[in-house]
């Protein structure tokens, strides 16, 4: 009986080890090492420089021409960056596009015919499944850690019409130098990009899910920027009073508390204390629903808003513009 149990446990661990090894063998050749340097002047009137701040991270080659994916927080505010393949070959790098909302960056390595892996944008991500964090922290060889998906967090609300990508929580250790590397499932599919480990915690790591960022990556490669429409209001969900319910036929809406100056909302005549009931006929009862509608729209698209103003129905038309706040200040060398 004990022998049978021992054999069964061995088979389980053997399957686990096999999944980790296969993922490492398949994904490892496409995982690069990244070095960053950040030099800053102490003040505009000073010629004294701080000591350069150096950083290390990882990235994933996503096509044979040298386009690579990594984390935005690792690259942001960096002056210089260089890449190194698992074989130790140093390669020049250019920044193509950066998007802090999704925490993703596209880099371009000099050269061609690189080993690469296509992200699994359509892969189903489930709590409890095995995942492997692959990185290249030394520039000499890939390093892997394994764990499970502990939770899947919905996107974070970063303001009206702006939401972060979904986050995958995992207990697979995201060690220093592994940030920006791929998070892989047992099918050897890249389902996320490792972001960070919470300091002082045990088993609390996060990765950017790739399930909803295919268009983000396409725009970064083609345009160097993600075009995100925005409305320009601050508000919160509101339960309507009886008069408002009778006038609108609804029970909930979004109360506008603030309208940003020179925004699409202000240009369309929206005012504080207006209540948004629906957009293009779609009922809006929460800020998350509002953000979802704005996010799915296109820059330049006209939206029809049904409102309550001083308890009377009215309408407004809004033409969305690009938020345009995350364009990089200067090129990366």
Q: Read off the tokens for 72.
A: 């935005």
Residue 179 is among the residues annotated as catalytic for this protein: yes
Of the residues 58, 99, 102, 103, only one is catalytic, namely 103
Q: Read off the tokens for 301.
A: 């698209």
CA distance 34 to 31: 10
318 DSSP β-pair partners: 303
Of the residues 58, 150, 179, 211, only one is catalytic, namely 179
Chain-centroid distance, C-alpha 141 = 26
Residue 103 is among the residues annotated as catalytic for this protein: yes
CA distance 73 to 25: 27
Q: Of 31, 77, 79, which is closest to residue 57 (Cα–Cα)? A: 31
Upper half-sphere CA count for residue 68 (Cβ side, 13 Å): 38
Please provide the DSSP assignment of 56-122 as one string.
EEEEEE-STT-EEEEEHHHHTT-SEEEEE-TT--EEEEEEEEEETTTTEEEEEESSS--------TT
Please provide the DSSP assignment of 228-297 as one string.
-EE--EEEEEEE--HHHHHHHS-SEEEEEEEE-TTSHHHHTT--TT-EEEEETTEE--SHHHHHHHHHHS
57 DSSP β-pair partners: 34
How many helices (H) and strands (E) are present in the chain, helices listed first? 6, 22
Of the residues 63, 73, 171, 322, only one is catalytic, namely 73
Residue 45 burial class via C-beta count within 10 angstroms: exposed 0-12, middle 13-18, buried 19 and up: exposed
CA distance 132 to 158: 29
Q: Read off the tokens for 28.
A: 């490892």
Residue 103 contacts residue 217 (beta carbons within 8 Å): no
Q: Which residues are catalytic?
A: 73, 103, 179
């Amino acid at each position: 009986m004990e022998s049978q149990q021992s054999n069964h446990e061995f088979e389980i661990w053997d399957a686990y080890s096999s999944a980790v090894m296969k993922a490492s063998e398949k994904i490892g050749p496409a995982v690069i090492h990244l070095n960053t340097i950040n030099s800053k002047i102490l003040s505009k009137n000073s010629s004294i420089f701080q000591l350069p701040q150096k950083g290390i991270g990882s990235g994933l080659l996503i096509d044979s021409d040298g386009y690579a994916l990594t984390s935005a927080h690792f690259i942001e505010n960096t002056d210089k960056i260089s890449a190194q393949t698992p074989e130790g070959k140093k390669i020049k790098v250019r920044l193509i596009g950066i998007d802090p909302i999704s925490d993703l960056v596209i880099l371009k390595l000099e050269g061609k015919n690189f080993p690469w892996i296509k992200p699994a944008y359509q892969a189903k991500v489930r709590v409890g499944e095995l995942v492997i964090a692959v990185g290249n922290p030394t520039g000499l060889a890939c390093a892997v850690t394994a764990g499970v998906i502990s939770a899947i967090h919905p996107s974070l609300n970063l303001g009206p019409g702006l939401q972060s990508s979904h986050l995958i929580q995992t207990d697979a250790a995201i060690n220093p130098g592994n940030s920006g590397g791929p998070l892989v499932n047992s099918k050897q599919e890249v389902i996320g990009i490792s972001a960070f480990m919470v300091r002082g915690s045990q088993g609390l790591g996060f990765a950017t899910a790739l399930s909803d960022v295919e268009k983000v990556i396409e725009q970064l490669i083609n345009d160097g920027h993600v075009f995100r429409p925005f409305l320009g209001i601050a508000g919160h969900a509101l339960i309507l009073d009886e008069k408002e319910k009778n006038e609108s036929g609804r029970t909930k809406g979004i109360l506008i508390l603030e309208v940003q100056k020179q925004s699409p909302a202000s240009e369309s005549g929206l005012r504080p204390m207006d209540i948004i009931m629906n957009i293009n006929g779609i009922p809006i009862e929460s800020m998350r629903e509002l953000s979802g509608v704005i996010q799915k729209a296109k820059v330049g698209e006209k939206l029809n808003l049904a409102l309550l103003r001083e308890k009377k129905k009215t309408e407004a038309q809004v033409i969305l513009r690009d938020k345009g706040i995350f364009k990089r200040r200067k090129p990366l060398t």
